[in-house]
Structure 1
């Protein structure tokens, strides 16, 4: 059964913004500044350029292939099924890790000490239930979460600019080329949500027109927000942001707006929920597409007759995310996620590069730049994350090889 085309341009932009303006914008500045020093804005520019190249590739592919599955479906059509499988597998494993990271971040802001794990588990279960009752409800909830998040960020920006003339931020260390690239990799993790729109291509109305516009609009909005937040963080905190676990709350506090700190905390928790909701939705659609082709168990290809959502896939994914929350930490989840996401976009650029001239919307050099950017950023990830990621990718490849061999027999 096909999925219903119910998402409008506004819905798609909201889902993209909900994915990008998530926990990353409230938490990434400390780790990023610790490695970039005074090169933070350069790192942000690099991450934004790579994200734009990848976004245009995703938009071009989604317009030509308006089906669920994102780059999994695109690479199957443009290159071959093996490339599609690797892309889909990288997306699923990377974004499942992202879900765990978002749930942990939500709990860090919203839960009292000692209650973070049960609150994170509850958040995953609750948002899985939202997804199981229809994609239009997902879009409605995401819009609300995005608005609350933007209100919190507006408070941070207003407080930061009001305090900037009198602020004495701690001096930043000099930037190094490797540090800037590593910071760009961290910041890219916070950006990488625009593909969520493409993975829902089977549920978007007028996809050839809506999906490219939604991806570019959502990315442009997210970049604007990130630039403003980066500037006020540097102006008010400087190097002190590197040691802060809640840098935006510290910006508000140092600006003398401490009475609004709870609002920022609420916005951070809300942003985490928005990203988690959109992530769960996108992974469910890619899992559905892979199960339809038997690259994952066909049991997961069932679409609910009443609500027209891949309910079995949603439930299985939520269960795995809860398992990761119970055993992993935030740093490990982010590193593993970045590895999978960057490989996913590498294949997206290769797929877009292969498209015919009559469906091409952007020049090929953008796809080349995006692929090189993904390779450059993935090379800066921690060694342990890269090794674990490589191992999990090989496990997936081994599973598909075994399935194909058994099918031939």
Structure 2
């Protein structure tokens, strides 16, 4: 079975999935809305995420299947269409998360003075984002991955940097600089903190990756329960620390270039020691490393998730070979291509909102499902109720905010969401549709489907050629390394 993960490794994976890139990608967007009340948005989102985590855990213990939200719906509802739509929504949420990480990766890259914003009139942000995605597609195809004890070290480093940032930031704010710590209590009466919570929800999605790899976890039901219960509150504390420090030390940066405001805050606090540039450098490098590793880990996990959807007949067979060992290369490439398109043409606000919306729907649905099972002796009704009400309250608030603040982003998110739902319905209800379609039209549809299938096969052949080329070049390099 290979390496077995205990509680420490499970907490590291869950915490790494949340801390990995979420705070660097989301903080600027949320702070631009809630400013000094940003911390409250993270607290509210964390409470709803913790209640959703409770729902996941009790369903995992109650059911016979293992595998997360899709398996829960299949077992407790028995509706394959609903299960497939949740699976597709979750997969698009992962794609949105990777696009968000790639966007943040590029923003921190361009934050260095030596890197220009554009070259020959071409903006470099989309270019850097797409190159970041391409890099980790190649690494995943080549089989590069970090797990187990190495994950412990990586997460400890990322968490340690952010905790040190938050603790020293609080020390610097009050005793050293003499600045009062502003917490934005005057903003807690309006709708703004709820909007902030809704948008930041995507920063709390990493814990549920544990449910897709249970065969590698010792005593998975109990270990995952403890890991989720520990990791989400820990992430909340870190997010609150970072949010309070950043909004107080870099309010101008949040207004003018919010995506790298955290690095500006680090620069401000280390200026006391004459090390302003070092603070900016450390946080920026940490951000690059964290967002990069988050792309890599999410690509790997979403590839496995897509393969499971194919094996359950919830995705087209052309996207993966369910019998293959590991994640098929074509799956990684397709996920990478869609992610690259999202991160190249979308704004960070649109990407973050879309990804958060996807996870809000999925986590809310699982909370509803757990609430329906409340008669079971092991399920307390309050956490699932809070998770469901909180999640489904976030969705309309987020859309309302986008409609009034960013009309273009609102329509972009709405169009993508409607498109995804229509494609899901066409795929899962295609049998019902065929029964009501005239023969001539049905023939045309079948011909179109065959052409799409031929196109997918052609893409698959192209991927195999690329992979073979990468493999050949790797073999040549290995042979040259072996020569005296």
Band the TM-score falls in, shorter-chain normalisation:
0.7 to 0.9
Q: Deviations over 1:255-312 (max 9, x none)?
A: 2141222111011111212322232233223212221122211244525755x34544
Q: Deviations over 1:340-389 (max 9, x none)?
A: 1111111111222234755x644122111101111111112224224532
What secondary structure is seen at the aligned counterpart in 1 of 2:191?
Answer: helix
Q: Deviations over 1:228-260 (max 9, x none)?
A: 212323443457644433222122222214122
Query: Which among 19, 22, 32 is matched to residue 21 of structure 1?
Result: 19
Q: Provide the C-alpha distance between the structure 1 equivalents of 2:378 and 2:134, rounded to a whole number of angstroms.
A: 40
- Give the number of the structure with larger relative contact order, counting CA–CA contacts within 8 Å between residues 6 or more apart: 1
Deviates more, 1:144-153 or 1:41-50: 144-153
**What corresponds to 1:254 in structure 2?**
268
Q: Where do 5+ consecutive residues of structure 1 fail to align?
A: none
Q: Does 1:62 align with 2:60?
A: yes
Are the aligned partners of 1:103 and 1:124 in contact in 2 as well (CA < 8 Å)? Answer: yes
- The 5 A counterparts of 1:291-306 are 291-302=310-321
**What corresponds to 2:285 in structure 1?**
266
- The 5 A counterparts of 1:164-203 are 164-165=173-174, 166-168=177-179, 174-175=186-187, 176-203=189-216
Q: Does 1:154 align with 2:153?
A: no
| Structure number, greater radius of gyration | 2
Q: Deviations over 1:138-161 (max 9, x none)?
A: 456644442332233134224412
Q: Does 1:317 align with 2:335?
A: yes
**What corresponds to 1:398 in structure 2?**
426
Q: Where do 5+ consecutive residues of structure 2 fail to align?
A: 119-123, 404-409, 437-441, 443-484
CA RMSD of aligned residues (A): 3.1
**What corresponds to 2:461 in structure 1?**
none
User: How many residues in Structure 1 have an aligned counterpart in Structure 2?
Assistant: 405
Q: Provide the C-alpha distance between the structure 1 equivalents of 2:3 and 2:64, rounded to a whole number of angstroms.
A: 10
Are the aligned partners of 1:131 and 1:138 in contact in 2 as well (CA < 8 Å)? Answer: no
Give me the TM-score of the superposition, normalised by structure 1: 0.87
Q: Provide the C-alpha distance between the structure 2 equivalents of 1:11 and 1:225, rounded to a whole number of angstroms.
A: 19
Q: Provide the C-alpha distance between the structure 2 equivalents of 1:291 and 1:380, rounded to a whole number of angstroms.
A: 34
**What corresponds to 1:340 in structure 2?**
358
Query: Which among 126, 131, 134 is matched to residue 122 of structure 1?
Result: 131
Q: Provide the C-alpha distance between the structure 2 equivalents of 1:361 and 1:281, rounded to a whole number of angstroms.
A: 33
Deviates more, 1:206-215 or 1:380-389: 380-389
Deviates more, 1:292-301 or 1:131-140: 131-140
